[in-house]
Structure 1
Amino acid sequence: MPASTSHPTHPARPTLRPCGPADLPEVLALVDADRLPGQPRATPELLAEASRGRTEADGHWWGAYDEPEVQVAVDSGGAIVGAVACARRTKDGTGLIPWLHCGEEPVVADALLARAAALLPAVPVDAFPFATALTQGLEGLPAGHRPATHAALERAGYTGERLWRYMRADLPRPRLPRAEGVRVGPARDRGASQRLEVVRDGRTVAEAVIGHPVQGIGVLWWIEVDAAARGRGTGRALLGSALHALGGLGATQAVLYVDDDEPPGGERDRTAANRLYESAGFAEIDRLWSYALPGA
């Protein structure tokens, strides 16, 4: 028999329509298909919060925007193959794409971004600028795991910027030391649950902030050590105390984000922080990007 001369078929461009209550199971499946290690399973409650533009981690940013409009992409068989959320900033109309899921199909990603452009015409648009309720504080698009979405944004004229390093570790980490003189109290922002302080001679010389675990996943929001206290193992001991505290809250794994977008030697050089986290057992999962599209 002669060899086949047929060519691989590509998905047809989907149709777009507003998301309805009956679409929930398929949208949740799309979100979960993009879930990274260290991120919670998508639930109806988390999706509802994300669809309303509310999140515990970055609520101060969400308050500046109207409630998002969610659109779904539907293929010729009626299956939902993508979803995107769009919103406007109340004070000036600047657009926002907080989340988009497309099964990493380029034609679906292009269709979703085209619909976003129709809903947000002739205005600057920010895409993936901060966390949604569907993630544990994950700000930005994990471009390594979602290259088709990244490429679609670039095709649509968006300029991307790598901002964060996303890392994860299993808990407990019993070999890490713990700091002496730690004072634990409630945190003040970002939906965090606890603030740990290392106190010496009545003065706070280091602090860490942790988030309450979701589905066994806790967030280490940050660690800061005074310059005068560095080089003495304070940061490593405080990291051990913070991870132990997360374990006490029920976490079986921890995630963190390092803003290492500047090269070594810059004002925000994170070389030492990256070395600390790696030596403590954290592994990089991906690099996180945010995007901007200028207005017409």
Structure 2
Amino acid sequence: MITAVAGETIVRPLEPGDRAAVLELVAADLLPGLPGPAFAELDQAVQGTCAGGAAVRAGLEGVCSEVLACADGQVVGAVSWAERSADGAGALLWLHCLEDEQHLARALLQRAVTRLGRRTVHAFMDPTVLAPAGLPVRMRPGTRRALEECGFSGVDRWRFLHRHLDGRGDRLYAVADVVESPGLPGWQLQLRDRDGARIGEALVRLPVEGTTALQWVSLTPARRSAGNVLLEQCLAHLADRGVREVTAILPAPVEGQPDLDAAFALHAAAGFTEVDQLHAYTRRP
């Protein structure tokens, strides 16, 4: 277990022997319902690769991953950044450290900003193999404050929702056909009415350790008023297949876009709870 920090620290390149300590830091920052990454996923994150792929994520150059270590060798933080070839901006890809030790996050941020030089830097803008896009500002207040101290401004971009599927009730009817998704490792649920008419569809990722992510739900206009019932039925269908938890990420509400409020209300009516707000950050030179 990584303990509180006392004394001096140094920033150095991430080495293979640091991986277990870094994974421990990542696990401490996991949102509910998200499976912890393994060594393979961490290696992908260090290289800046996409999930399940071998190529560096499009538009990233000079990916660098470093750790913050105490004099005794204990790793207490890690950070990764890169340059965006399209616009020359910097990208802080991921950062994890002891959340109660705000000065550690500040040291890692200052390192990344210094190495990236005088340019705009975006932080937590895109998902990685370690976590979804956005900093969970409630769960990670130390990192949030460190970002603000280092000149970053945050924007509320997404809502992270979570739903336990324990004790699901009986389904009213066979709500969905389940087929393999052609574009994502997951299931496509083709929703239908009692008479068999197609009324919408949902897409979920393949479950990992009994947990899946609801990517989206789409209903025909005529059935949107019954959306919460249909989503409940969809969740019951997933429970039948051994799924115990479902997560979802929705865009944050925006004035003048009622569809975003409607989407949140749909999930809330189906029992989803907002766990955290996910903010993206930008620092101008």
TM-score normalized by the length of structure 1: 0.83
The alignment of Structure 1 onto Structure 2 pairs a total of residues equal to: 280
1:241 is displaced (CA, Å) by: 4.3
Q: Deviations over 1:213-236 (max 9, x none)?
A: 1232100011122323221x2x23
1:48 is displaced (CA, Å) by: 1.6
Match of 1:287 in 2: 277
SS at match of 1:63: coil
1:270 is displaced (CA, Å) by: 3.1
Change (3 A) 1:178 1:239: farther
Cα distance in 2, alignment partners of residues 44 and 228 from structure 1: 47
1:71 is displaced (CA, Å) by: 0.5
CA RMSD after TM alignment: 3.0
SS at match of 1:112: helix
Cα distance in 2, alignment partners of residues 16 and 194 from structure 1: 43
Contact kept, 8 Å, 2:48 with 2:56, in 1: the verdict is: no
Q: Which of 239, 246, 249 is equivalent to 1:254?
A: 246
Match of 1:20 in 2: 15
Is 1:109 matched with 2:71?
A: no
Match of 1:147 in 2: 141
Is 1:275 matched with 2:268?
A: no
Structure 1 spans left out of the alignment, 5+ residues: 1-8
Change (3 A) 1:50 1:198: same
Aligned pairs for 1:28-43 (under 5 A) are 28-43=23-38
SS at match of 1:69: strand
Answer with 55-64 or 248-257: which moved more. Answer: 55-64
Q: Which of 112, 119, 122 is equivalent to 2:118?
A: 122
1:100 partner amino acid: L
Match of 2:40 in 1: 45
1:86 partner amino acid: W
Q: Which of 160, 165, 168 is equivalent to 2:159?
A: 165
1:274 is displaced (CA, Å) by: 2.6
Cα distance in 1, alignment partners of residues 167 and 230 from structure 2: 13
1:186 is displaced (CA, Å) by: 3.2
Contact kept, 8 Å, 1:34 with 1:103, in 2: the verdict is: no
Cα distance in 2, alignment partners of residues 179 and 151 from structure 1: 49
Cα distance in 1, alignment partners of residues 274 and 175 from structure 2: 31
Is 1:156 matched with 2:150?
A: yes
Change (3 A) 1:48 1:192: same
SS at match of 1:36: coil
Q: Deviations over 1:222-273 (max 9, x none)?
A: 1122323221x2x23432343245435542211111213314xx22443333
Cα distance in 1, alignment partners of residues 176 and 281 from structure 2: 39
Change (3 A) 1:269 1:14: farther
Contact kept, 8 Å, 1:13 with 1:107, in 2: the verdict is: no
2:253 partner amino acid: D
Cα distance in 2, alignment partners of residues 58 and 123 from structure 1: 29
Cα distance in 1, alignment partners of residues 190 and 175 from structure 2: 8
SS at match of 2:207: strand
Q: Deviations over 1:33-55 (max 9, x none)?
A: 21222121232122122222234
Match of 2:186 in 1: 193
Match of 1:97 in 2: 92
Cα distance in 2, alignment partners of residues 260 and 58 from structure 1: 29
Cα distance in 1, alignment partners of residues 41 and 81 from structure 2: 17
Change (3 A) 1:178 1:108: farther
Match of 2:222 in 1: 228
Q: Which of 166, 172, 184 is equivalent to 2:178?
A: 184
The percent identity for this pair of structures is 32
Structure 2 spans left out of the alignment, 5+ residues: none
1:196 is displaced (CA, Å) by: 2.1
Answer with 56-65 or 89-98: which moved more. Answer: 56-65
Change (3 A) 1:188 1:162: farther
Q: Deviations over 1:33-91 (max 9, x none)?
A: 21222121232122122222234499999322236311100123321110001112233
SS at match of 1:31: helix
Cα distance in 1, alignment partners of residues 55 and 181 from structure 2: 15
Match of 1:217 in 2: 211
